[in-house]
Amino acid sequence: MRVFPGFLLLVSAAAALSAQPQVPTQDTQTSQTAPAVPDGGVTQVLQSIYVPPLQNSPFTAVVHTEWIRPLSDGGTFTVVNQRQIARDSQGRIYEERWFLVPKEGKVQSLRYLIQIADPTARTLYNCFLLHTPHQCTLQKSAERPLAAYRPAIGQSGTLPNGDGFRTHEDLGIQDIEGIQTEGTRDTTTINQGVNGNDRPYSIMREFWFASSLGIDLRSTVTNPSFGKQVFTLTDVSSSAPDPKLFQIPDGFSVVDERKPSE
């Protein structure tokens, strides 16, 4: 669900920063202490698999995410999670958000957010599970219900301004979870110097789209800027999901953050 990017899966240096000890420093004018803030760091956001608000195509599934990032010595480090998603015949979407954790590590993932989007009512509820008291925020959704959906694909050819070239490949048909999917691979090569790069580099996107459900059952994105991301759907069912998934959880209050004109 892309309607609320601020709550996409996050791997950030912020957690490390918040754990840094606060070293008092003397201010010559105010004689007050201030926390020491280390220089540098980066925040990275993982954009997960897209669930379109498609009507008359209900399903439930579990999304498995694996994010593999390179180390300078040629090694890698990998974080993973898995989460439940669902869509009903009205196009309403239920998604859970779980923290990414080291693969085969000692840290267990936690579910921290539930998102419920209604494209007809144009509403999006974000229900925070780790807050006390439990609370959902209500925002306006930008997406409208769809009668049909197909993912955008690239075309082979040169990029504008001679920046590089793109290669499109049709990978044929493959059954995944007993569902027929169509495979596509788009590879974009960026020429040296276009983005400050000292050599050409390539970005690859491969996905296997199930037209019967209007969703990718397997998707892989490889980019030297952030490594490799793999999304795989399992436990896929085209049966109608439990209607309770699209209701505000018991015991949660709602804070309406929409503007009055909305």
The predicted-structure confidence for 103-128, as pLDDT tens digits, reads as follows 999 999 999 999 999 999 999 999 99
User: What local confidence, expressed as pLDDT, does residue 260 receive?
Assistant: 76
pTM: 0.83
80-102 pLDDT, tens digit each: 999 999 999 999 999 999 999 99
> Omega of the bond prior to 133 within 30 degrees of 0, cis?
yes
CA distance 59 to 81: 20
Residue 36 in domain: no
Alpha-carbon separation of residue 167 from 68, 73, 136, 154 (angstroms): 24, 30, 44, 8
163-207 pLDDT, tens digit each: 999 999 999 999 999 999 999 999 999 999 999 999 999 999 999
Task: Write out the H or E segment, with its range, that includes residue 85.
Answer: strand 76-87
Residue 246 in domain: yes
Residue 222 has pLDDT above 90, yes or no: yes
235-258 pLDDT, tens digit each: 999 999 999 999 999 999 999 999
User: What local confidence, expressed as pLDDT, does residue 259 receive?
Assistant: 81
Residues spanned by the domain of 102: 49-256
Residue 18 in domain: no
Residue 33 in domain: no
User: What local confidence, expressed as pLDDT, does residue 239 receive?
Assistant: 95
Residue 219 in domain: yes
Chain mean position to CA 16: 22
User: What local confidence, expressed as pLDDT, does residue 50 receive?
Assistant: 94
Mean pLDDT of the chain: 87
User: What local confidence, expressed as pLDDT, does residue 40 receive?
Assistant: 85
Return the CATH number at 139. 2.50.20.10
Residue 64 in domain: yes
| Tally of domains within the chain | 1
Residue 14 in domain: no
